[in-house]
Amino acid sequence: MALRAAILGHLRVPVQTLTQNGRALQSWNLLNLNRSMSSHDDHLDKQEVIDRVVSVVKSFPKVDPAKVTPEVHFQNDLGLDSLDTVEIVMALEEEFKLEIPDKEADKIDSCKLAVEYIANHPMSS
Amino acid sequence: MSLTYATRRAAQKERVRILYRRALKDCLNWAVHRHLFYQDASELRERFEANKNVEDPDTIDRMISTGEAHYNKFRHPDPYIVPWAPGGSKFTRNPAPPTGIEIVYNYGREDND
């Protein structure tokens, strides 16, 4: 028993395995770069989604770009009507290469909801 | 009475929004170039705006039905589908497995069989 404890006490895990793991991880990342033909693209981070949503809304012709913030409501704050909202949501779909079902797209009425929906969507790119 | 009227109007507004959304997408499907789409889209918008101030619910219902029938009649036979969506060009297309993973086609037979 004492012998076993002594052996276990002096055993050390070799450091080499760590570097091997690191190399394996790196090659995995390199592989991901080469997988552009797959149907799964990389996920976006939230700040990028916010920036792109705001830039799409700002470039909408009827919108005053100075008023656009990430929290803005299309109809209450920007003075758009419901059909303009439909057009903005369609522009967002094209920007992020998404296909939002009609009923869900109908619920998106503000920048905040759009950012939330797109950031949580696995296929947005 | 007013509550049922309000719910009926809300349902009509939703139908109009969805009809406009589908019709706008269909415009984009029919348009060969982007600049042709802009013209079609503004014409579509004008057709919706023309009946903006109709108040009678029955007339609105009839107009929406007419619009939906017209949309169905002129729907694009081969619409654009986002690649990952069902029917798209990348749908169920999976990435190749990473190197180091070997697929053994021994059809369920193990080495010690």
B42-54 pLDDT, tens digit per residue, is 999 999 999 999 9
Catalytic status, residue A41: no
Average pLDDT over residues B30-41: 94
Listed by start position, the domains of chain A span 1-40, 46-120
Asked if B95's CB is within 8 angstroms of A40's CB, the reply is: yes
- Chain mean pLDDT for chain B: 90
From the list A76, A32, A72, the residue with the least C-alpha distance to A56 is A72
* ipTM here: 0.80
Given 1.10.1200.10, 1.10.1060.10, 1.25.40.10, 3.40.630.10, which CATH number is that of A46-120? 1.10.1200.10
Q: How far is A42 from chain B (nearest CA, A)?
A: 13
Q: Alpha-carbon distance B28 to B34, whole Å?
A: 8
Q: Which residues contact A70 (CB under 8 A, 6 or more apart)?
A: A50, A53, A54, A111, A112, A115
Residue A114: other Cβ atoms inside 10 A: 25
- Chain mean pLDDT for chain A: 80
Tell me whether A36 touches chain B (CB under 8 Å): no
Give, in order, the Cα–Cα distances in Å from B18 to each of A55, B36, B76, B81.
25, 22, 17, 18
Cut 0.95: pTM above it: no
A73 contacts A37 by C-beta, under 8 angstroms = no
Rounded to 5, what percent of chain A is helix, strand, coil? Answer: 60, 0, 35
- For residue B83, list chain A residues with Cβ-Cβ distance below 8 A: 39, 97
In this predicted structure, the answer to whether residue A21 has a pLDDT above a threshold of 50 is no
Asked if B45's CB is within 8 angstroms of A83's CB, the reply is: yes
Q: Alpha-carbon distance A102 to A5, whole Å?
A: 67
- For residue B24, list chain A residues with Cβ-Cβ distance below 8 A: 86-87, 90
pLDDT at A122: 87
Q: How far is A100 from chain B (nearest CA, A)?
A: 10
